[in-house]
Structure 1
Amino acid sequence: MLHALEIITIVVTGLMVGVEFAVAFVLNPIFNALPGDSGQLGRAHGGRMLGAVMPFWYIGSLVLSALWAIAGWHHRGAGLVVIAAALLILSVIMSLLLLVPINNRSKTWTPENRPEDWKQQANRWDRYHYLRVAVIIAAFALLAAALA
């Protein structure tokens, strides 16, 4: 049972990391290179779509990691799982305090109603997101190392 939990945790967390990595290093650079208002519209749509899914993914990864830490407390690698769970907690806190407020505004923007500083807000979101991606990559790496 523990082995199945370990695999499910790694797969769920790894997929989340992959999506967030793609947003940071593939999708947003593509959106930023699009002409006219297309990039801003794409980011707003992505904010609505992923904003609806990612809270469950982040919390799900955290819950699975916590369950793994509890179930595998006396097994090799438990300390790494605990640290990974702590990093996932940090990523949720970062999301709630730094990224979600910007996302909640930007997902409603259109070329007609966006604020003058929309590009600065998008750039701030990107910087916070890069940091969050680094945190969740570290958590994922620790989970993978706990199996090794």
Structure 2
Amino acid sequence: MLTALEVVTIVITGLMVGVEFSVAFVMNPIFTALPEDSGQLGRAHGGRMLGAVMPVWYIGSLILTAAWAVAGWGQDGAGLVVTAGALLIVSVLMSVLLLVPINNRGKTWTPENRPADWKQQMKRWDSYHYARVAVIIAAFTLLVVARA
């Protein structure tokens, strides 16, 4: 049973990392390269779509990691799993405190109502997102190493 929990946790967390990596290094650069209105509209739509699913994914990954830590307590790699869980907590806090407020504004913007500094706000979001991606990659790596 523990093996199944470990594999499910790694897969779910790994998929989340892949999506967030793709947002940072594929989707947002594509949006940035589009003509102004298209890029901003793409980011707004992405903010609405991913803003609805990512909280569940982040919390789900954290819950699975916590369950693994409890079920595997005392086994090899338990410290790595606990550390991965701590990093996932950091990623949730970063999301709530830094990224969500910007995303909540950005997902409502249209070319007619966006603020003059919308590009600066998106750059700030991108910077925070790069840091969050590094945190969740580290958490994912620890989970994989703990399973090895």
TM-score scaled by length of structure 1? 0.99
Query: 2:36 is paired with a residue of what secondary structure?
Result: coil
Query: 1:37 is paired with a residue of what secondary structure?
Result: helix
Which AA in structure 1 matches 2:15?
A: L
1:135 counterpart residue number: 135
Find out whether 1:13 has 2:13 as its counterpart.
yes
Cα shift at 1:36: 3.2
Which AA in structure 2 matches 1:57?
A: W
2:125 counterpart residue number: 125
> Runs of 4 or more off by more than 4 Å in structure 1?
none
Mapped to 2, the partners of 1:137 and 1:29 lie a distance apart of 20
1:65 counterpart residue number: 65
* Cα displacement string for residues 21-59 of structure 1 (whole angstroms, at most 9, x for unaligned residues): 000000000000011310000000000000000000000
1:1-148 superposed matches below 5 A: 1-148=1-148
Q: What residue ranges of structure 2 are gaps of 5+ in the alignment?
A: none
- Cα RMSD after superposing both structures: 0.4
Q: What residue ranges of structure 1 are gaps of 5+ in the alignment?
A: none
Which AA in structure 2 matches 1:130?
A: Y
Which AA in structure 2 matches 1:15?
A: L
Which AA in structure 2 matches 1:95?
A: S
How many matched pairs? 148
* Cα displacement string for residues 42-99 of structure 1 (whole angstroms, at most 9, x for unaligned residues): 0000000000000000000000000000000011100000000000000000000000
Mapped to 2, the partners of 1:112 and 1:147 lie a distance apart of 50
